[in-house]
Amino acid sequence: MDRRRVTINDIARHAGVSRSTVSLVLRASPRIPPETHDRVQGSIRALGYTYNRSAANLRQQTSQAIGLIINDICNPFFAELTSAVEEAAAEAGFFVYLVESAESPDRQDRVLQSMIEHDVAGMIICPATGTPGRTFDTLHARGLPICIAVRPYPDPRFDFAGPDNYLAAQMATGHLVGRGHRRIAFLGGEPTNPSRVDRLSGYFSALQQNGIAFDPALVVESRPSRKSGIADVEQVLRLAEPPTAALCYNDFVAISVMHGLRLQGLEPGRDMALIGFDGMPEAEMTYPPLSTVSLHARAIGRNAADLIIRRIGEPAAAPARRVEQPTLIIRQSSGA
Amino acid sequence: MDRRRVTINDIARHAGVSRSTVSLVLRASPRIPPETHDRVQGSIRALGYTYNRSAANLRQQTSQAIGLIINDICNPFFAELTSAVEEAAAEAGFFVYLVESAESPDRQDRVLQSMIEHDVAGMIICPATGTPGRTFDTLHARGLPICIAVRPYPDPRFDFAGPDNYLAAQMATGHLVGRGHRRIAFLGGEPTNPSRVDRLSGYFSALQQNGIAFDPALVVESRPSRKSGIADVEQVLRLAEPPTAALCYNDFVAISVMHGLRLQGLEPGRDMALIGFDGMPEAEMTYPPLSTVSLHARAIGRNAADLIIRRIGEPAAAPARRVEQPTLIIRQSSGA
DNA sequence: CTGAAAGCGCTTACAG
DNA sequence: CTGAAAGCGCTTACAG
């Protein structure tokens, strides 16, 4: 930075008016006559002035920043969610600080602190797995607008935007049962992950409704990744009576389960019916194309943005929950 | 926000010292004796004070914000890059404003303006396709630290971090030639995209080196997406003498080319050898697994972050270029 | 219609 | 070692 920043003082001097007048011109006040307006605008162009919104924010006690804390931007589900949040925020004149928590509650704490220091107007948080119940208490006490997203979080004080995991799992399980499967595995996900807890409940309930006994050997736990499904299927394939179908914790896992099946000489879709969760776009392009329950990541992102923007404008509004209904997408992997 | 923010004034009053002293305590000045320090820290805890970094930034004329402008966060290449930028920034005490330009130079202009208003310390820009040459001139004149990333941008005034597209395409083409192919298509990408221009040059040069005549009918242009490859292959399959192999503009395109081949009753890998660019993680899990040239998105992101952080600290340093060397990853899709 | 003054929350010479 | 004062770039009553 060679020369110092051009400020309204410079504009005022150049245009021969006071700082107040420049400020009023910037804010397009009707109290300013056209000639003054044009003269000041001319000086602004002549000097190459750029508004310093941070200074204005300090004075006005406002902020246009929305913090977004997600676990993993490289998961296409979160990428889509982020994109939708960013879009909705931009439309409303906000912009987003993006940070990854990498599922670490510690990192999440540090990030939270940093966001407050940087004076965000509010934040959207996808809680890291293992987030203690009181983590957001001081934020709430301070009146900071917060919207919990994606991960179910049993605290009615906060706005929430997420999918209906329970229903999603019921739909997926029901679909597989409808295709004649009785031994249906549930592959992947960490036991403490609340999304998984809900999906597992939906799975149980659908089994029960259909009079199918639950077999714990068919439920495999693992940290979900782009490869974890390989070991997940392998485990269940070793059973005396292996499953003929599987719900996978998410599409990520499902895609690697396909890979794992092939490593065992089996053909996904034919030798084992597969369905994932999330509805990420790449699921359409796998071979065979992957059945999935779309959770509508973009819609959830937009809901979260809408909720936080509303709360920033109306801090005392009653907390709202926006639960997005899932959609079953049947493709070849479940034998369509 | 019920009560107003707790400030250093409140701390000063509570601890019975002046604002200056509180400030010195916050910045851990050695001039403050332990007793005073502890007393002030006690008040900070008692009142639940949070540092207002925006105010400090205004006073100190600094900023910890790095703007990152990318085209599409839902492209896993950019997701990985973003993740790496965010990580490197956090390590150095910066945080990132993320914005998508969606390949629109207009939107990019608006975003640029907004980032300056919000007083970013510097920015990393993946220029939207079609960005006019003078877009960054005023930013540069103003001395704003800028790092151009990913897309080659022929302006030696700026720091640059990106892949070696030319070499990547040479490697990919050479590999296919080595496997006996003579009719090799180049599928997808927009003609004005500078990354594609470089990849095409590498492809030409490798053909030439191997004494293979260039056939323009084998080069297909299209806006790359998760589905665009379907139409791309279809077009080239209609030729009297169709290709036996294809370079795909990126992995996205390659995956949909696989899909397109199957729609024509052909088997990817066997009936047409395929290789992509980017090296995105999902390429390993396709069927057949996709050969690709890894451009090392994470490394590029980290390079970009390092460069911008260096420039923020040292505005007058000579512009640097960090060109990451690509890696050929051979899998079944090219007949390994 | 326009200007002088105070203040947002902080830091930083400068006194004492 | 600690306090009073000025100032970062802006906005906003309040005069005139």
B59 touches strand C (CB under 7 A): yes
Question: Could you count the other beta carbons within 10 Å of the beta carbon of residue B208?
Answer: 11
Query: A259 and A157 in one domain?
Result: no
Considering CB atoms only, which of B3, B96, B226 is closest to A282? B226
3-class secondary structure, A193? coil
Residue B139 lies in a domain: yes
CB contact under 8 A, A286 and B284: no
For A48-59, write each residue's pLDDT tens digit. 899 999 999 999
Structural domains counted in chain B: 3
Count how many residues are written for chain B.
336
Query: A301 and A291 in one domain?
Result: no
Considering CB atoms only, which of B74, B118, B143 is closest to A54? B118
Once rounded to an integer, what is the mean pLDDT over residues B183-205? 97
Lowest mean pLDDT among A129-143, A317-331, B205-219: A129-143
Predicted confidence at residue B206, as pLDDT, reads 98
Query: A239 and A127 in one domain?
Result: no
Residue B259 lies in a domain: yes
For A214-250, write each residue's pLDDT tens digit. 999 999 999 998 999 999 999 999 999 999 999 999 9
Q: Using an 8 Å Cβ cutoff, are A309 and A301 in contact?
A: no
How far off is chain B from A205, nearest CA to CA, in Å? 32
CB contact under 8 A, B118 and A138: no
Query: A126 and A18 in one domain?
Result: no
Query: B277 and B156 in one domain?
Result: no
Q: Which residue has the tokens 């736990």?
A: A221
Query: B150 and B72 in one domain?
Result: yes
Kindly tell me if the per-residue pLDDT of B3 is higher than 70.
Answer: no
d(CA A184, CA A242): 9
- Residue A90 contacts by C-beta under 8 Å, 6 or more apart in sequence? B99
Query: B71 and B37 in one domain?
Result: no
Once rounded to an integer, what is the mean pLDDT over residues B206-222? 97
Predicted confidence at residue A27, as pLDDT, reads 84
For B19-38, write each residue's pLDDT tens digit. 899 999 988 888 888 888 99
Once rounded to an integer, what is the mean pLDDT over residues B206-229? 96
Taking the mean position of all CA atoms in its chain, how far away is CA B219?
A: 26
Q: How confident is the model at residue B122 (pLDDT cuts 50, 70, 90)?
A: very high
Q: Which of B77, B70, B57, B132 is nearest to B101 (CA)?
A: B70
A29 touches strand D (CB under 7 A): no
CATH of the domain at A254: 3.40.50.2300
B119 touches strand C (CB under 7 A): no
B/e letters for A67-96, b = 16+ CB within 10 Å, e = fewer, are bbbbbbbbbbbbbbbbbbbbbbbbebebbb
Once rounded to an integer, what is the mean pLDDT over residues A39-67? 92
Q: How many CA atoms lie within 13 A of A97 on its CB side?
A: 30
Residue B97 lies in a domain: yes
- B-chain residues near A52 (CB < 8 A): 117, 119
Once rounded to an integer, what is the mean pLDDT over residues A31-54? 90
Once rounded to an integer, what is the mean pLDDT over residues A174-191? 97
Kindly tell me if the per-residue pLDDT of A336 is higher than 60.
Answer: yes
Interface size between A and B, measured as CB pairs under 8 A? 142
CB contact under 8 A, A285 and B76: no
Kindly tell me if the per-residue pLDDT of B1 is higher than 80.
Answer: no
Kindly tell me if the per-residue pLDDT of B335 is higher than 90.
Answer: no
Question: Could you count the other beta carbons within 10 Å of the beta carbon of residue A132?
Answer: 10
Once rounded to an integer, what is the mean pLDDT over residues A22-42? 87
Query: B146 and B196 in one domain?
Result: no
Once rounded to an integer, what is the mean pLDDT over residues B187-209? 97
Query: B302 and B292 in one domain?
Result: no
d(CA B57, CA B175): 53
Predicted confidence at residue A1, as pLDDT, reads 38
Query: A289 and A303 in one domain?
Result: no
B20 touches strand D (CB under 7 A): yes
Once rounded to an integer, what is the mean pLDDT over residues B101-124? 93
Predicted confidence at residue B30, as pLDDT, reads 82
Question: Could you count the other beta carbons within 10 Å of the beta carbon of residue A27?
Answer: 9
Question: Could you count the other beta carbons within 10 Å of the beta carbon of residue A51?
Answer: 16
Give percent above pLDDT 90 in chain A: 83
Predicted confidence at residue B154, as pLDDT, reads 86
Predicted confidence at residue B32, as pLDDT, reads 85
Q: Using an 8 Å Cβ cutoff, are A273 and A246 in contact?
A: yes
d(CA A316, CA B2): 9
Predicted confidence at residue B2, as pLDDT, reads 40
3-class secondary structure, A127? coil
Could you say which residues 176-235 of protein chain A have a Cβ atom less than 7 A away from any atom in strand D?
Answer: none
Query: B306 and B198 in one domain?
Result: no
Q: How confident is the model at residue A2 (pLDDT cuts 50, 70, 90)?
A: very low
Q: What is the DSSP letter of A95?
A: E
B residues 254-273 lying closer than 8 A (beta carbon) to A: 255-256, 258-259, 262
Give percent above pLDDT 90 in chain B: 84
Show the domain range for B27. 8-51
B/e letters for B33-55, b = 16+ CB within 10 Å, e = fewer, are eeebeebbeebbeeeebbbbbbb
Give percent above pLDDT 70 in chain A: 99
- Which residue gives the smallest C-alpha to C1' distance to C9? B55
**Nearest-Cα residue of chain A relative to residue B1:** A143
Q: Using an 8 Å Cβ cutoff, are A173 and A184 in contact?
A: yes
CATH of the domain at B17: 1.10.260.40
Residue A56 lies in a domain: no
Count how many residues are written for chain A.
336
Beta strands in B210-326 (DSSP E): 219-220, 245-248, 273-278, 291-294, 321-324
The nucleotide whose C1' lies nearest the CA of B58 is D8
Once rounded to an integer, what is the mean pLDDT over residues B202-207? 98
Residue B152 lies in a domain: yes
CB contact under 8 A, A255 and B282: yes
Kindly tell me if the per-residue pLDDT of B209 is higher than 80.
Answer: yes
CB contact under 8 A, B54 and A118: yes
Q: How many CA atoms lie within 13 A of A306 on its CB side?
A: 11
Q: What is the DSSP letter of A150?
A: S
Kindly tell me if the per-residue pLDDT of B336 is higher than 70.
Answer: no
**Nearest-Cα residue of chain A relative to residue B297:** A74
Q: Which residue has the tokens 């070499």?
A: B167
For B125-175, write each residue's pLDDT tens digit. 999 988 998 899 888 888 899 999 999 998 999 999 999 999 999 999 999
Q: Using an 8 Å Cβ cutoff, are A285 and B226 in contact?
A: yes
Once rounded to an integer, what is the mean pLDDT over residues A81-108? 94
d(CA A99, CA A207): 39
CB contact under 8 A, B86 and A96: no
Considering CB atoms only, which of B57, B80, B82 is closest to A54? B57
Q: How far is the CA of A17 from the C1' of C2 (A)?
A: 8
Exposed, middle or buried, A192 (CB in 10 Å: 0-12/13-18/19+)? exposed
H or E element: which one contains A60?
Answer: helix A53-60
**Residue A143 forms contact with B (CB below 8 Å):** yes
How far off is chain A from B194, nearest CA to CA, in Å? 24
Once rounded to an integer, what is the mean pLDDT over residues A261-272? 97
Strand D nucleotides where any atom sits below 7 Å of a protein CB: 1-13
Query: A310 and A287 in one domain?
Result: no
- Which residue gives the smallest C-alpha to C1' distance to C12? B20
Distances (CA, A) of A98 to A58, A70, B202: 22, 8, 36
d(CA B307, CA B92): 12
Which amino acid, residue A186?
A: F
Predicted confidence at residue A335, as pLDDT, reads 80
Predicted confidence at residue A4, as pLDDT, reads 67
**Residue B322 forms contact with A (CB below 8 Å):** no
The nucleotide whose C1' lies nearest the CA of B11 is C9
